[in-house]
């Protein structure tokens, strides 16, 4: 493994019986970046993280994390990583200080180092005024900050975050991400799973998973620039009529309504896409303004997972989350 790669997988797979939760995924994740796993529920994000942490044994393929082979070196790896799960996993009946001190001992840290790290983290994550409060009495955003403080107590080189912002409001989500960028500035590598498109766009690199397979990989900008579709918006006072006029046009791949606006993905081979859509609208006497725009991460996601039926998506459940 080269010095600037934190994680490398080769055809990594993890099956649960007949369910292919992770299916032949090959990736290289650089150090000191935020790398995102984006995918719907059941896409394999959690299974991938648990396998890379050494909590699950791969069915086939290989993985190296921080130069250590998984699962052979999983015990050595645990001292060098932090893991924040989807659900709050600290002790509800312990205070902030008690939780932090307990996990410092779990990480086998020296008492003086535990004290120093607690003092620093109480300040970094604005927990000082809450240090004697039980975790059960904290808000969602406060519990999130505590969970991140505990996950980073032993200053891990690599931090795994499994949908860490699913239970907090937008303001706390924004503050949480600022904390992640501060960690990266200090050299921490972060692997985060999410189903939020705006969070995916914040990542330095991104892997889109669907039904356990890797369907797209790259930087957010590269993925948006390389999308195999043309993207149009239709501004109209008659969105339902506009949708009926456009939905059966040759080359239309997807239509989504956003208030009084339609967002349309077209086959990249469609010639003069704006005129193509304008003529269809005019033929139905629908007044509208059609504009070609840059793709979003949501557009990339739609194209990468396009054609999967709801039944197919639902086959990967439980550990395949």
**pLDDT value of position 314:** 40
**pLDDT value of position 201:** 95
The count of residues in the chain is 321
Question: Token pair for residue 45?
Answer: 């994000």
Question: Among positive and negative, which fits the CA dihedral 122, 125, 129, 133?
Answer: negative
* Residue 313 pLDDT exceeds 50: no
What integer is the mean pLDDT of 37-50?
93
Over the stretch 219-242, which tens digit does the pLDDT of each residue have? 999 999 999 999 999 999 999 999
- Cα Rg of the chain (Å, integer): 23
* Residue 312 pLDDT exceeds 80: no
When comparing pLDDT for 149 and 318, which is higher? 149
Confidence at 3, pLDDT banded by 50, 70, 90: low
The most confident of 1-10, 170-179, 181-190, by mean pLDDT: 181-190
- Chosen CATH of 5-219 out of 1.10.3720.10, 2.120.10.30, 3.40.50.10800, 3.40.50.300: 3.40.50.300
Q: What is the pLDDT of the chain when averaged over all its residues?
A: 92
Confidence at 268, pLDDT banded by 50, 70, 90: very high
Q: What are phi and psi of 102, to 5 degrees?
A: -60, -45
Question: Token pair for residue 64?
Answer: 């190296």
Alpha carbons 266 and 226: distance in angstroms, whole number: 14
Question: Token pair for residue 52?
Answer: 């890379």
What are the residue boundaries of the structural domains of the chain, listed by start?
5-219, 228-294
Helices and strands, counts by H and E, the chain: 12, 14
The Cα angle at residue 64 between residues 60 and 206, in degrees rounded to 5: 90
Question: Token pair for residue 315?
Answer: 């086959």
**pLDDT value of position 317:** 34
Question: How far, in whole angstroms, is CA 82 from its chain's centroid?
Answer: 16
Q: What is the pairing mode between strands 261-266 and 230-236?
A: antiparallel
> Is CATH 3.30.70.100 the right assignment for the domain spanning 228-294?
yes
Which H helix or E strand runs over 144?
helix 140-151
What integer is the mean pLDDT of 296-319?
64
What letter does residue 314 receive in the DSSP assignment?
T
* Residue 252 pLDDT exceeds 90: yes
Alpha carbons 28 and 157: distance in angstroms, whole number: 16
* Residue 130 pLDDT exceeds 90: yes
Are both 5-219 and 228-294 of the same fold?
no
* Residue 169 pLDDT exceeds 50: yes
Question: How far, in whole angstroms, is CA 115 from its chain's centroid?
Answer: 33
């Amino acid at each position: 493994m080269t010095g600037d790669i934190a994680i490398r997988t080769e055809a990594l797979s993890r099956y649960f019986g007949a369910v292919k939760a992770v299916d032949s995924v090959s990736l290289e994740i650089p150090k000191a970046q935020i790398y995102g796993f984006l995918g719907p529920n059941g896409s394999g994000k959690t299974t991938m993280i648990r396998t890379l942490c050494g909590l699950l044994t791969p069915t086939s393929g290989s993985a190296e994390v921080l130069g250590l082979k998984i699962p052979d070196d999983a015990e050595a790896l645990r001292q060098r990583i932090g893991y924040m799960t989807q659900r709050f996993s600290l002790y509800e009946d312990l205070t902030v200080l008690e939780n932090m001190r307990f996990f410092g001992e779990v990480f086998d840290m020296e008492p003086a180092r535990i004290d120093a790290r607690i003092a620093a983290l109480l300040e970094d994550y604005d927990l000082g005024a809450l240090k004697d409060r039980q975790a059960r009495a904290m808000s969602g955003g406060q519990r999130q900050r505590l969970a991140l403080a505990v996950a980073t107590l032993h200053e891990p080189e690599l931090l795994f975050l499994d949908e860490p912002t699913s239970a907090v409001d937008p303001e706390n989500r924004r503050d949480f991400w600022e904390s992640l960028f501060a960690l990266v500035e200090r050299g921490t590598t972060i692997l985060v799973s999410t189903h939020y498109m705006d969070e995916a766009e914040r990542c330095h690199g991104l892997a889109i998973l669907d039904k356990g397979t890797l369907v797209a990989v790259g930087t957010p900008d590269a993925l948006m620039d390389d999308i195999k579709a043309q993207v149009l918006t239709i501004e109209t006072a008659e969105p339902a009529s506009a949708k009926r006029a456009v939905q059966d046009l040759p080359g239309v791949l997807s239509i989504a309504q956003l208030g009084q606006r339609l967002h349309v993905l077209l086959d990249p081979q469609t010639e003069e896409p704006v005129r193509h859509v304008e003529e269809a609208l005019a033929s139905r006497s629908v007044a509208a303004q059609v504009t070609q725009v840059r793709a979003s991460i949501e557009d990339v996601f739609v194209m990468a997972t396009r054609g999967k039926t709801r039944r197919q998506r639902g086959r990967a459940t439980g550990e395949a989350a």
